[in-house]
Amino acid sequence: MKVEKLIRGFLFACTNKSEAECLNSLLFATDKLYGPIVNRIRKGDLLFLNNIDTDILYGVFKTTSNGEFNIKPEAFDGRYPYQVMVKSIGDIVCVPGAKRLLKRYGVKRNTPLYKQELISFLEDLISQPKQSTFGEDLERKDSNQAIIKEIQKVNNNPAPVDIENEISLIESTTFWDFPKQSYGLTPKGNNKYAGVTPALIIYNMIWRYTELGDLVVDPMCGSGTTIDVCKEERRKVIGYDIHPTRKDIIKNDARKIPLEDDSVDMVFIDSPYGDNIKYNDEPDNIGSISSESEEFYDELEKVMKESHRILKDGRVLGWLIGDQWVKKTFTPVGLNIYVCLIKNITHVEIMCIARRSQASNTGM
């Protein structure tokens, strides 16, 4: 039996420069900033196109492909590689005063519409004064009928909600603060795991530094947050840990990773910050070594070297680390790790993450 999927509505933007290419080639496209949205679009969703120069909203389109990376690499001179193919539902109609209409429904590019909200938006769209794409009088009845048919489909669609109300966009500064451990409708990792990574850190790292389909490796993946984020964001992923907590994590010591040289698109690691958390009793657990000792940094440097070895040329290692403040002694673990990193990695950048609770599972 065919399982019906939720029909969602998404907004795309164009300018006077890109409008003709969008409408003529029936390919909607955007840059990496909106990549997470395109990643969530699938065949059968409804799209609207807003020309932000003229304030016109074009609709209604139905996607004929999933959202993908580079469906047509040469389109838009390569500037907008996150793409989806569309067809119009009836004639393409254009509604002036898009900003006002979008504001009324609180529609932004990262806020998908579905169920009743999508129905109301479509109903409002067909009741607006319209003009045809090319200025001629429009056979309005035809296109309205096609949209009304689509409204009925949305109305009869029994599928449960399977998308966030607001899709997180990529952070635009180097200071990141995530009040919650997870995002989306499904858990990412286990927020009860001491030392779990805030999932949006991994989300931001992979959206900045990899593309759909790239291979990401986490050599110390704890409760599996990297695995869950990568799956949702359509990256391939391998997660290792010295003490696996679930079946899809492979037991392995991060100082010797069983992968070939130059074979991985990104490595993400949230290593122990010292011996402040008891992860497990494994003899090779680096989390049982104090970050006040040289040995801690020597062992993590082995992990850095190994990560560097498996990374393809020019690709990125992301390392999350925090300082330690124990028994009135401050240890600048972050700076010490930075010193190790610059010895082993060609180019190092720092993002600051707001520190919240140890396990990240409270709002504190």
Asked if 63 is part of the footprint of ligand SAM (rule: CB under 6 A), the reply reads no
Asked if 222 is part of the footprint of ligand SAM (rule: CB under 6 A), the reply reads yes
Asked if 154 is part of the footprint of ligand SAM (rule: CB under 6 A), the reply reads no
Asked if 280 is part of the footprint of ligand SAM (rule: CB under 6 A), the reply reads yes
Asked if 239 is part of the footprint of ligand SAM (rule: CB under 6 A), the reply reads no
Tokens, residue 88: 């119009």
Asked if 221 is part of the footprint of ligand SAM (rule: CB under 6 A), the reply reads yes
Q: Which residue's CB is nearer to ligand SAM, number 71 or number 351?
A: 351
Q: Which residue's CB is nearer to ligand SAM, number 114 or number 193?
A: 193
Asked if 189 is part of the footprint of ligand SAM (rule: CB under 6 A), the reply reads yes
Asked if 287 is part of the footprint of ligand SAM (rule: CB under 6 A), the reply reads yes
Round to whole Å and give the CA distance between 240 and 253: 8
Of 118, 280, 301, give the one whose Cα is nearest residue 195.
280
Asked if 67 is part of the footprint of ligand SAM (rule: CB under 6 A), the reply reads no
How far apart are CB 70 and ligand SAM at their closest, in Å?
30
DSSP type of residue 327: T
Q: Are 30 and 38 in contact (CB under 8 A)?
A: yes
Q: Which residue's CB is nearer to ligand SAM, number 57 or number 254?
A: 254
Asked if 353 is part of the footprint of ligand SAM (rule: CB under 6 A), the reply reads no
Asked if 232 is part of the footprint of ligand SAM (rule: CB under 6 A), the reply reads no
* Part in contact with ligand SAM (CB under 6 A); list of ranges 127-135, 221-229, 309-317, 324-332: 221-229
Of 175, 200, 40, give the one whose Cα is nearest residue 113.
40
Of 5, 4, 3, 6, give the one whose Cα is nearest residue 116.
6
| Residue of minimal Cβ distance to ligand SAM | 222
Residues 6+ apart with CB under 8 A from 98: 50, 51, 55, 56, 57
Q: Are 264 and 302 in contact (CB under 8 A)?
A: no
What b/e string do you get for 305-325 counting C-beta neighbours within 10 Å, with b at 16 or more?
ebbbebbeeebbbbbbbbbbe
Helix-then-strand count for the chain, H and E: 9, 17
36 three-class SS = helix
Asked if 253 is part of the footprint of ligand SAM (rule: CB under 6 A), the reply reads yes
How far apart are CB 324 and ligand SAM at their closest, in Å?
13
Round to whole Å and give the CA distance between 107 and 10: 9
Following DSSP, what letter does each residue of 115-145 receive, concatenated? HHHHHHHHHHHHHS--EETTSSPP-HHHHHH
List the one residue from 166, 284, 295, 298 that touches ligand SAM (CB under 6 A).
Answer: 284
Please state the length of the chain.
364
How many C-beta atoms surround the C-beta of residue 104 within 10 A? 11
Q: Which residue's CB is nearer to ligand SAM, number 56 or number 201?
A: 201
Asked if 193 is part of the footprint of ligand SAM (rule: CB under 6 A), the reply reads yes
Asked if 118 is part of the footprint of ligand SAM (rule: CB under 6 A), the reply reads no
* Part in contact with ligand SAM (CB under 6 A); list of ranges 30-38, 63-71, 234-242, 343-351: 234-242
Residues that bind ligand SAM (CB under 6 A): 189, 193, 195-197, 219-223, 225, 240-243, 253-255, 270-272, 279-280, 284-287
